[in-house]
């Protein structure tokens, strides 16, 4: 099984490439949660995620014959970039298989680091199956994204940094996709500070770890559906499950609404950009997915920042909805002069700001002498949004809340 010595050796191999990323106390999130909350800013890592640690360690341990034959891997994006950069620096040819719907930004970045990219399958698991086919056909070495002790040891160097920078910690919260990161981090921390609690977090739409741990063997889910694409795997690994069973204290889940809220709050309060997978640890703390004491020193690992800009707008909008800062409504109006102005004046009196207005007389869902008005409004909070709806209904309008 993975050992602390393995992780310490990995640190020597990856130190020239992987950065020692900052660990900072967040006053805002400490006040919001009641915990003494620190953020491990792995989104500042080279390639934007922790994956370079494990990839670099694995590439560094290839035999000469393996280096000459090249490597192949499968990834939703972050591991892809890690392998591409590590292989490029070592002069090793790399082929990366990514799902067809992988974020465009991650595909372009992987190619930019010099790897050959093939898009196959609808998710990570289908991409992985094709990558193993290439492994056999081209005699390449497969670099697993998580279920490899050498990769796990590389990821564990993040845990060494947490202990170095915050030796007083009580709890560390780590995302789980396939389990490579939490396995390495848990060993690195527990072997030095055995009383520290290790909490794993999965997205609700990709939650296989708790089922597998409860069963004592792998349990694969049929499909994944989450904005946290970086941890969207159907199953953890056999080797990672073994380590988690021994070293991880608890596994919890968060839903996409909680992830979106945490991501949005990080942007607003900490000026920190993360991807969905990078926000799940904070989401678990803020949503109280697990119990912690007031003043407890908690470290949340923000494992990556590679979010596609097209998706960012959608996720932030969801986060604003959760904060009560965005309101989308429809109203049926009488199709007569002055009605739109009347609604506008009511909204103006409430102090809301209008994002967008859509006025439709042709919808099949409204009467011939009526029109449908759709409003997107910027609001202060949930109470303000409720006041707007109340003000419109008090004037006789039937309001439907869309989001």
Rounded to 5 degrees, what angle do the CA atoms 19, 22, 24 make?
170
Helix (H, G, I), strand (E, B) or coil at 337: coil
Could you tell me which of 196, 209, 253, 203 has the C-alpha nearest to residue 226? Answer: 203
Give the pLDDT of residue 310: 83
How many of the other CB atoms lie within 10 Å of CB of 254? 27
Q: Which pTM value belongs to this model?
A: 0.88
**Model confidence pLDDT, tens digit, residues 165-206:** 999 999 999 999 999 999 999 999 999 999 999 999 999 999
Residue 133 has pLDDT above 90, yes or no: yes
Domain 4-49+150-318 has CATH 3.40.50.1100: yes
Q: pLDDT band for position 369 (50/70/90)?
A: low
In the CATH hierarchy, which fold is given to the domain comprising 324-401? Answer: Alpha-Beta Plaits (3.30.70)
Q: pLDDT band for position 368 (50/70/90)?
A: low
Q: pLDDT band for position 324 (50/70/90)?
A: confident
Among 31-35, 76-80, 259-263, where is mean pLDDT lowest? 76-80
Give the pLDDT of residue 360: 76
- Bigger pLDDT: 321 vs 158: 158
Helix (H, G, I), strand (E, B) or coil at 378: strand
Give the pLDDT of residue 54: 98
From the options 3.40.50.300, 3.40.50.970, 3.40.50.1100, 3.30.70.20, give the CATH code of 60-142: 3.40.50.1100
Give the pLDDT of residue 403: 81
Q: What is the mean pLDDT of residues 17-24?
A: 97
Instruction: Give the chain's mean pLDDT.
Output: 93
Question: Using CB atoms within 10 A of its CB, is residue 349 exposed (0-12), middle (13-18) or buried (19+)?
Answer: exposed
Query: What percentage of residues in the chain have a pLDDT greater than 70?
Result: 98
**Model confidence pLDDT, tens digit, residues 89-108:** 999 999 999 999 888 888 99
Q: What is the mean pLDDT of residues 116-142?
A: 94
Q: What is the mean pLDDT of residues 316-325?
A: 87
Which residues pair with residue 255 across a beta bridge? none
**Model confidence pLDDT, tens digit, residues 290-303:** 999 999 999 999 99
Residue 130 has pLDDT above 80, yes or no: yes
Q: Are strands 71-74 and 94-98 parallel, antiparallel or unpaired?
A: parallel
Q: pLDDT band for position 25 (50/70/90)?
A: very high
Give the pLDDT of residue 302: 98
Q: What are phi and psi of 60, to 5 degrees?
A: -65, -20
Give the pLDDT of residue 364: 58
All structural domains of the chain with their residue ranges: 4-49+150-318, 60-142, 324-401
Q: Do the two domains 60-142 and 324-401 of this chain adopt the same fold?
A: no
How far is residue 204's CA from residue 377's CA, in Å, rounded to a whole number? 29
259 to each of 39, 93, 254, 287, 303, how far by Cα in Å? 16, 36, 7, 10, 13
Give the pLDDT of residue 67: 97
Helix segments in 113-253, DSSP class H: 124-138, 149-165, 180-190, 209-215, 238-247
Q: pLDDT band for position 380 (50/70/90)?
A: very high
């Amino acid at each position: 099984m993975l050992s602390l010595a393995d992780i310490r050796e990995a640190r020597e191999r990856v130190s020239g490439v992987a950065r020692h990323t900052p660990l900072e106390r967040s006053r805002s999130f400490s006040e919001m949660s009641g915990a003494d909350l620190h953020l491990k800013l792995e989104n500042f890592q080279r390639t934007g995620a922790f994956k370079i640690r494990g990839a670099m360690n694995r590439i560094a341990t290839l035999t000469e014959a393996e280096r000459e034959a090249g490597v192949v891997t499968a990834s939703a994006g972050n591991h892809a970039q890690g392998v591409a950069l590590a292989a490029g620096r070592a002069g090793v040819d790399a082929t990366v298989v990514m799902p067809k719907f992988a974020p465009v930004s991650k595909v372009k970045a992987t190619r930019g680091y010099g790897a050959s990219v093939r898009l196959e399958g609808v998710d990570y698991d289908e991409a992985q199956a094709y990558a193993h086919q290439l492994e056999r056909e081209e005699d390449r070495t497969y670099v697993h994204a998580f279920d490899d002790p050498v990769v796990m040891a590389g990821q564990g160097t993040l845990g060494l940094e947490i202990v170095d920078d915050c030796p007083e910690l009580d709890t560390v919260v780590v995302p789980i996709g396939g389990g490579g990161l939490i396995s390495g981090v848990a060993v690195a921390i527990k072997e030095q500070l055995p009383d520290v609690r290790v909490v794993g977090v999965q997205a609700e739409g990709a939650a296989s770890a708790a089922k597998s741990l409860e069963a004592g063997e792998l349990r694969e889910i049929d499909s994944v559906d989450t904005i946290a694409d970086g941890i969207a795997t159907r199953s953890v690994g056999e080797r990672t499950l073994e380590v988690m069973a021994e070293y991880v204290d608890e596994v919890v889940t968060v839903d996409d609404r909680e992830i979106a809220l945490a991501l949005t709050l990080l942007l607003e309060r900490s000026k920190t950009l993360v991807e969905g997978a990078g926000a799940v640890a904070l989401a678990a703390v803020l949503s109280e997915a697990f119990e912690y004491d007031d003043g407890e020193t908690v470290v949340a690992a923000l494992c990556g920042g590679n979010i596609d800009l097209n998706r960012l707008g959608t996720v932030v909008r969801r986060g604003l909805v959760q904060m009560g800062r965005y309101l989308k409504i429809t109203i049926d109006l009488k199709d007569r002069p002055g009605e739109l102005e009347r609604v506008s004046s009511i909204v103006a009196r409430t102090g809301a700001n209008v994002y967008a207005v859509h006025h439709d007389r042709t919808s099949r869902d409204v009467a011939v002498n009526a029109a449908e008005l759709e409003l997107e409004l910027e609001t202060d909070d949930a109470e303000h949004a409720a006041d707007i709806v109340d003000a419109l209904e008090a004037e006789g309008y039937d309001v439907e809340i869309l989001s």
